[in-house]
Amino acid sequence: MFLKEVVRLPDELALERLLVPQAQLRDDHRRLRLKVLIIPTSHRKDSRPDSQPGTARGYSEAMRENSLKALFTRGGVAVNGWLAIPSPISAEAMAHAGFDSLTIDLQHGAVGFEAAVTMLQAISTTDVVPMCRVPWNEPSAIMRLLDAGSYGVICPMINNREEAEALVGACRYPPAGHRSFGPNRVRFYAGADYGLEANEVVLVFAMIETRAGLENLESILDTPGLNGVYVGPSDLSLALGGPPGGDWEEGPAAEAIEVVVEATRQRGLVPGIHNASPGYALRMIEKGFQLVTVQNDLAYLGEQARRVTAAVRGGSQGRGGGSSDPY
């Protein structure tokens, strides 16, 4: 038995009462307890007056927009944050810092699947678009993170068209791919229409960071369903005989970056790149990159800690750039 009582009050006070039975066995007698759950309609995604009570869902019918994809479609540039710290609190702090998107790093970050789920939940307190860099081009890992609420996948070490097709296939439901249907947490985040619209909403990026990936760039970019590529500058430099690092202004890695952004833009796809400094990120935007990331949360933490300790030990009286809140 499921009872539903709707109390009609002024909009700002409107409440919906759900009477949820909990059956218990005690002394061989079945007892029914009713638990009252009061939900302000202003907190429900679907609070329209014409919404149908008693439907199989309590959330919006239309799928949540991927505002990052919409930004790219308009030709805009996204500032992306990178999360290496396995903490929902730090993820939430980054989500309130002004980024367009946040990428949880499960390849080189200290983040496992369980921590990633809590971080996705924390990011959901804002309109920032959640993405994940998956540990590898492995279908089950990709699918689980999408089911948990990631709206984009960045996959490392894509070397050829076959690997790119496998990546896209893991991110798309049939017939466009071979993703298995089991949207657990994402149905709460995205809405009831997720299964119908996910193929058009979820972003898929292949990382170009190997010699083979660079040599096969054209065929990778021609993979149906791929939204863009993301340059990993350290691995790309290593693959081309250079040292690890980033912000390359000259040499083989810098030349390769030019090739990647030009070929990607020619196909109307989104080029992305990881950067070590804001200044370099701005120069990459001028070259045509639409998704730029500067360092990661762990680097921000260490950098600010060193700045503060150096200032205090040196007796600095500087007041700029800090927060008035001591906590």
Active site residues: 108
Helices (H), the chain: 67-73, 88-95, 113-123, 139-147, 161-171, 186-190, 194-201, 211-215, 217-221, 233-239, 252-266, 278-287, 297-313
Q: Which amino acid is at 5?
A: E
Distance, CA of 261 to chain centre: 22
| Residue 40: cis peptide before it, omega within 30 degrees of 0 | no
Q: Which amino acid is at 282?
A: L
Three-state DSSP at 71 gives helix
Output the CA–CA distances (angstroms, integers) from residue 14 to 42, 50, 60, in the order listed.
8, 14, 18
Q: Count CA atoms within 13 Å of residue 133 on its CB side.
A: 29
**Residue 225: left (phi > 0), alpha (psi -120 to 50), or beta?**
left
